[in-house]
Structures are given as C-alpha cells and as structure tokens.
C-alpha cells in the first residue's frame, strides 16, 4: 500500500520563527489533507490540497503531486500552533492513510 | 461547514464491559463513515469503513466481533467495543463523507472519544 512519511518527527521553535513540514507519499493519490491535532486530541483540518498552493493566514501549503510531496509552511509561529501535524492521503481505493505526524512545540 | 460529533468524548469502564461510541453528522448526510484508532504518541489507523444500510468493512487485523459497527441511518454510525480490556484503551475518531458534496474524497472528522479500560 501507499507509504506516507513526514519530516521532521519533532520540532521545537521559538515563538515568531518560521518552519516547513514535509510529507512524502509513495504513489499517486486522489487528495491530500493537512491536519493539526491539538493537545486535547481534536483534529482540525487545515488544507485539502491535492495539488498547487493554498494559503490561510500564517499557514500555507504546497503539493507537488508529480513529485509526490507536500509542504506545510508555518510563519511567525505562536504557542497555540503547538501540537501534532498530520498529513493524510486519500487513495484511489477511497481510504485515508495518515502519516506518522510531526510534533511541534512552540516555546515563548 | 460540515460538523461531525462524537459521544461520549471520554469514557472510563471496567474490563469486560461493552462501550458504545456514537458518531453523528450534524448538518449533512453521510453514506460512508470511517472509524480510526489512535494510540498515544502514534498516528491514526483506519479500523473500518461503515456504509449506511450494509455491513462494515474491516481493515486487516481488526476483529469485527470485538468492534461492532452499525450505520443504521445517514447521520449516525456506532462503534461498540465488546468485552473491553485495558489494551483497547485508545482514542477513537470517526469521520464522515458528505454524500451530497460530490467530492467523494472529502472527509470530516469528529472530535474523538478517549476510552480508558481499567
């Protein structure tokens, strides 16, 4: 099946810093989503982005489907950005496969 | 936007008892719902796909007799953990696909249910 990898696995940032999270996937997919899981476990959808670039405030994402990767950019990070960021791909079999996540800690 | 709720949000039970978790799509109809399990510090793993009016499809390694799924209406799916044991303690998350959206690959996730089996 499709393999989804994320890097880095852990990241510590000073408040105000920028960061880039990466998601690689091993086969073509129908869709790709980025999620933020907050410390209470709630999954918050950030982007549906099968290809191209999208921006939402301090966050933006780019997916290059032909090269099978996606990037999530976080600018001017805040402590509330802490949590785990997952990318998830939707396969041609209509299943969602999650990556292992990147655990982000933003310190004041 | 589309909202999915789960009930309860947290449950603690004794070993050997059964626990039912509900997943509801609040403002849309969902012909398909999905159940995931997440162990601490790990990612989400798909357990089963629940289709309204038919039997659920379970992923390899998931015991269908232990994790009973019922999708009796277009807005409700239930997961029953039967004869729960401490190793079943986990965070259970459901998602639902909006049948009317036309975007068959868009899923909306519930807030999760944290199960602790003593």
Average pLDDT for B48-53 = 88
Residue A23: the pLDDT is 98
Residue B97: the pLDDT is 84
Q: Cα(A92)–Cα(B104) distance, rounded to whole angstroms? A: 11
When computed from its CA atoms, the radius of gyration of chain A, rounded to whole angstroms, is: 13
Regarding predicted confidence, which is higher, B103 or B70? B70
pLDDT tens-place string over residues A19-33: 999 999 999 988 899
Residue B103 scores a pLDDT above 60:
no
Residue A99: the pLDDT is 96
pLDDT tens-place string over residues A44-91: 889 989 999 999 999 999 999 999 999 999 999 999 999 999 999 988
Residue B102 scores a pLDDT above 80:
no
Q: Cα(A71)–Cα(A20) distance, rounded to whole angstroms? A: 7
pLDDT band at A8 (very low <50, low <70, confident <90, very high): very high
Establish whether the linkage from the previous residue to B6 is cis, with ω within 30° of 0: no
Average pLDDT for B33-49 = 93
List chain B residues with CB under 8 Å of A31: 105-106
Average pLDDT for B17-41 = 93
Q: Does A91 touch chain B (CB under 8 A)?
A: no
- Among A33, A36, A43, which would you mutate to test the B interface (most chain B Cβ atoms within 10 Å of its Cβ)? A43
pLDDT tens-place string over residues B63-96: 999 999 998 889 999 999 999 999 999 999 999 9
Closest-CA distance, B109 to chain A, in angstroms, reads 7
Closest-CA distance, B112 to chain A, in angstroms, reads 7
What percentage of residues in chain A have a pLDDT greater than 70? 100
Closest by Cβ to B109, choosing from A31, A43, A95 = A43
**Using a CB cutoff of 8 Å and minimum separation of 24, what contacts does A65-69 make?**
A65/A28, A65/A29, A68/A24, A68/A25, A68/A26, A68/A27, A68/A28, A69/A22, A69/A23, A69/A24, A69/A25
DSSP B59: P
Residue B101: the pLDDT is 66
Contact state of A100 with B111 under an 8 Å Cβ cutoff = no
Q: Does B8 touch chain A (CB under 8 A)?
A: no
Reference A96, options B33, B24, B73, B98; nearest CA is B33
Residue A92 scores a pLDDT above 90:
no
DSSP assignment of B5-42 equals: EEE-SEEEE-TT--EEEEEEESSS--SEEEEEEE-TTS
pLDDT mean across residues, chain B: 91
pLDDT band at B104 (very low <50, low <70, confident <90, very high): low
Residue B107: the pLDDT is 79
């Amino acid at each position: 099946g499709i393999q989804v990898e994320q890097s880095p696995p852990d990241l510590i940032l000073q408040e105000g810093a920028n960061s880039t999270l990466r998601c690689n996937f091993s086969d073509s997919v129908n869709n790709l989503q980025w999620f933020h899981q907050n410390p209470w476990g709630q999954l918050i959808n950030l982007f549906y982005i099968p290809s191209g670039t999208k921006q939402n405030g301090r966050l933006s994402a780019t997916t290059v489907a032909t090269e099978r990767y996606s990037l999530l950019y976080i600018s001017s990070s805040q402590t509330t950005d802490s949590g785990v960021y997952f990318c998830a791909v939707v396969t041609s079999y209509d299943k969602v496969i999650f990556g292992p996540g990147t655990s982000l800690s933003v310190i004041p | 936007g589309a909202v999915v709720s789960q009930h309860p949000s947290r449950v603690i039970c004794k070993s050997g008892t059964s626990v039912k978790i509900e997943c509801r799509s609040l403002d849309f109809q969902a012909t398909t719902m999905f159940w995931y399990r997440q162990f601490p510090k790990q990612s989400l793993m798909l357990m089963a796909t629940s289709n309204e009016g038919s039997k659920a499809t379970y992923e390899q390694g998931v015991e269908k007799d232990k994790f009973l799924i019922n999708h009796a209406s277009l807005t409700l799916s239930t997961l029953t953990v039967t004869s729960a044991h401490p190793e079943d303690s986990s965070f259970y998350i459901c998602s639902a696909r909006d049948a009317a959206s036309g975007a068959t690959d868009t899923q909306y996730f519930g807030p999760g249910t944290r199960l602790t089996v003593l």
